[in-house]
């Protein structure tokens, strides 16, 4: 389970814990400025008694994103096009590492909480990317050659944020532990795209955000 | 340029230096047991006056390969099937990071020295993997959405090892700096698959290996 500690991956972790055995959460210390995420990911993994693997890969070495380069400001919500918070090839890299881990550990399933409806417009959250990645990963892995490719599940890909909030409540996901804000304050900023999308989801689901309680 | 410090990527770096401007070499400290590779990669990058980027990602955290797990022995050359030196998803991960670096640095081309003729049978060296990866990467990146995907060049993919040796000599590649052995001694072991393939290449090209001088 690819677990960032955000809302979507927290709900997805709840689904993975419900549907699969022997859960391992995979999180990345990639030089992101909001360290809160990783602490939340650890708490969520503990909540489910999952093995937690944190892989370090310092994307600030090459930069190109507001999330890894302090010199690039986090934009307010609602900017046009692909925003400055886009991290080049992030999901491509994360899914690739997940494939390596899955093959090494003989895991049958990788779950990722990508969502292409209420999202920030990142190209590597789109279904066409994930579909193509499935094919590529099957060609890359020994398991693929052996005819038993690792399955990649994206249970949230076509859901609205409100749907995801409702689903999370239904399955008892620890939403109070999740962290969505792109900024690194002690409380969510309320103004970045991630805070905006999260607030929209809870508002449309008519549910109070337990992380703001 | 994805530069491991082995024979193939050294020859490929010579080609990249000949054919492209503003060379950056990308190497990985992935927990491999043969540290000699990384020292050689640094020397080769210096030889070409290239910027060198070394990215750390500790694949020994999940294991599954003789190259990253000291408990798994490096097999002798000639074992059947995909050997224990296979690192799950290695080229998938390396190429994915290369895509992130290329997009962040606005590089137009990524060069990788994969070879599917005189090779160890790794699935992620095959042309069908690279072809599929090109499609996936174009879908993952902002550059792909913008209609200017990063080109992935594999100039060695259908060459024999002897061809690669001859090509390396022709283009003046610093073959004396390259390191192929899977083991971590001070001199190549001569018995692993990598040593075996290298020796075969030099022998068939009727050229003495300058790294053994």
Give the pLDDT confidence of A18-52 residue by residue, as tens digits.
999 999 999 999 988 778 889 999 999 999 999 99
Q: What is the pLDDT of residues A134-160, one digit of tens each?
A: 999 999 999 999 999 999 999 999 999
- Are the beta carbons of B136 and A92 separated by less than 8 Å? yes
Asked if B204 and B162 touch (Cβ cutoff 8 Å), the reply is yes
Give contacts of A59 with chain B, Cβ < 8 Å.
100
Give contacts of A90 with chain B, Cβ < 8 Å.
100
Please check the confidence at residue B210 and state whether its pLDDT lies above 90: yes
- pTM score of the predicted model: 0.96
**Number of helices and strands in chain B (H, E):** 7, 4
Probe site for chain B from A30, A79, A80, A139 (most B CB atoms < 10 A): A139
Cα of A53 to nearest chain B Cα, Å: 8
- Are the beta carbons of A96 and B93 separated by less than 8 Å? yes
Beta carbon pairs, A and B, within 8 Å: 150
Contacts of A66 (CB under 8 A, 6+ apart): A72, A73, A74, A75, A83, A84, A85, A182
Q: Which two tokens stand for residue A36?
A: 């809160």
- Across the range B114-138, mean pLDDT stands at 92
Please check the confidence at residue B79 and state whether its pLDDT lies above 80: no
Probe site for chain A from B124, B125, B140 (most A CB atoms < 10 A): B140
Partner-chain residue, chosen from B62, B95, B97, that has the shortest CB–CB distance to A100? B62
Give contacts of B125 with chain A, Cβ < 8 Å.
none
Partner-chain residue, chosen from B55, B129, B139, that has the shortest CB–CB distance to A140? B129
Nearest residue in B to A56, CA atom: B57
- Are the beta carbons of A89 and B105 separated by less than 8 Å? no
Long-range contacts of B32-37 (CB under 8 A, 24+ apart): B32/B67, B32/B68, B33/B67, B33/B68, B33/B70, B33/B182, B33/B183, B33/B184, B34/B67, B34/B179, B34/B181, B34/B182, B34/B183, B34/B184, B35/B184, B36/B5, B36/B179, B36/B181, B36/B184, B37/B4, B37/B5, B37/B6, B37/B179
Asked if B12 and B113 touch (Cβ cutoff 8 Å), the reply is yes
Q: What is the pLDDT of residues B83-102, one digit of tens each?
A: 898 999 999 999 999 999 99
- Are the beta carbons of B86 and A145 separated by less than 8 Å? no
Give contacts of A100 with chain B, Cβ < 8 Å.
59, 62, 64, 87-90, 92-93
Give contacts of B52 with chain A, Cβ < 8 Å.
none
Q: What percent of chain A has pLDDT over 90?
A: 78
Q: How confident is the model at residue A74 (pLDDT cuts 50, 70, 90)?
A: confident
pLDDT at A15: 98
Q: How far apart are CA B190 and CA B195, in angstroms?
A: 5
Asked if B17 and B47 touch (Cβ cutoff 8 Å), the reply is no
Give contacts of A58 with chain B, Cβ < 8 Å.
55-56
Cα of B106 to nearest chain A Cα, Å: 9
Nearest residue in A to B98, CA atom: A89
Domain assignments of chain B as residue spans, ordered by start = 7-212
Nearest residue in A to B107, CA atom: A62
Q: What percent of chain A has pLDDT over 70?
A: 100
The CATH number assigned to the domain with range A7-212 reads 3.40.50.620
Q: Strand pairing of A51-56 and A24-29?
A: parallel
Give contacts of A88 with chain B, Cβ < 8 Å.
99-104, 141-142
pLDDT at B116: 87
pLDDT at B117: 82
- Across the range A4-23, mean pLDDT stands at 97
């Amino acid at each position: 389970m690819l677990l960032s500690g955000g809302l979507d991956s927290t709900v997805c972790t709840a689904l993975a814990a419900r549907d699969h055995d022997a859960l391992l959460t995979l999180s990345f210390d990639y030089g992101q400025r909001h360290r809160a995420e990783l602490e939340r990911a650890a708490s969520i993994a503990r909540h489910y008694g999952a093995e937690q693997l944190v892989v370090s890969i310092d994307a600030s070495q090459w930069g190109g994103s507001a999330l890894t380069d302090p010199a690039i400001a986090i934009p307010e919500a609602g900017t046009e096009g692909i925003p400055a918070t886009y991290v080049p090839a992030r999901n491509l890299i994360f899914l690739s590492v997940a494939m390596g881990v899955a093959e090494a550990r003989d895991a049958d399933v990788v779950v990722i909480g990508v969502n292409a409806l209420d999202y920030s417009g990142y190209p590597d959250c789109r279904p066409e990317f994930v579909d193509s990645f499935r094919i590529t990963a099957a060609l890359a892995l020994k398991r693929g050659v052996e005819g038993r490719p690792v399955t990649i599940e994206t249970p949230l890909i076509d859901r609205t944020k409100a749907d995801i909030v409702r689903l999370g409540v239904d399955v008892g996901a620890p939403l109070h532990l999740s962290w969505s804000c792109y900024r690194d304050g002690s409380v969510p900023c309320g103004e970045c795209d991630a805070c905006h999308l999260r607030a929209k989801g809870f508002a449309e689901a008519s549910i109070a955000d337990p992380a703001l309680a």
